Amino acid sequence: MSEAARQTGEASTVSYELTLTAEEARQGARKLLPRNNKRLQVNIPAGVTTGSVVKLGNALQVTDGKPGDIHIIVKVKTEKTVSSETVPEGVVEISDSSFDREVLKSQLPVVVDFWAPWCSPCRMMAPVIEEAAAQYKGKYKFCKINVDENPEMAKQYQAMSIPMLLVFKNGQVISRSVGAIPAGELRTRLNSLQ
């Protein structure tokens, strides 16, 4: 989420841009908004479109200790707008709603990268994940899930520190790693799990 601020008199308004998948926009979504070391739960109603605004009345009182609203400006992404910068080639971007289908029911073992765009170590892991996805094509499936936009899976799998890599086999977690790791260490772990 990107932020823009505006102040009028005593009260302020802070705006964030939130990108949703088309499915999330249709069905509605529950997201976490990190601000000042606090997290606000944002309920996005079903049927939003690009440009829709969700107003969190007096939410700045909770996060900043001063009066003001937070506006969430919705942007709905199409499948073609996924940037290779955030999702490396050979890696599937997943969400709370697609986790079961893409991970738990996968025929291949799945490496899931729990990440967020503001996390520098997460960005360092992107080329490591991309390299592993190319090297282990057909042996492992690689997925990324943004913890800010998908709080249910982040909570369920206790992704309190990121990046966090979980390896699933037959729907069960068989390996967990927290923090950025070099490509060689990831290869060693994946080879030991085969």
**pLDDT one-digit tens code per residue, 161-186:** 999 999 999 999 999 999 999 999 99
CATH number at residue 119: 3.40.30.10
Same domain, 116 and 152: yes
- Is 143 in the active site? no
Same domain, 67 and 129: no
Same domain, 114 and 130: yes
- Which domain-ending residue is among 41, 59, 78? 78
Residues of the chain with pLDDT > 70, as a percent, come to 88
Strands of the sheet with 53-56, listed across from one edge: 2-8, 11-21, 68-77, 53-56
**pLDDT one-digit tens code per residue, 102-138:** 999 999 999 999 999 889 899 889 889 999 999 999 8
Q: Would you say residue 8 has pLDDT above 70? A: no
Same domain, 91 and 171: yes
CATH number at residue 34: 2.60.260.20
- Which domain-ending residue is among 78, 108, 125? 78
- Neighbouring CB atoms inside 10 A of 107's CB total 7
Which residues constitute the domain of residue 106?
82-193
Same domain, 51 and 105: no
- Tell me the mean pLDDT in the region 34-42: 82
- pLDDT class of 9 with cuts at 50, 70, 90: low
- For the chain, the domain total comes to 2
**Residue in 25, 122, 145, 154 annotated catalytic:** 122
**Residue in 56, 60, 110, 119 annotated catalytic:** 119
- Cα distances from 176 to residues 29, 94, 135, 166, in angstroms, run 27, 18, 20, 5
Q: Which residues of 71-81 are buried (b: 16+ CB within 10 A; e: fewer)?
A: bbbbbbbeeee
* Residue 163 DSSP SS3: coil
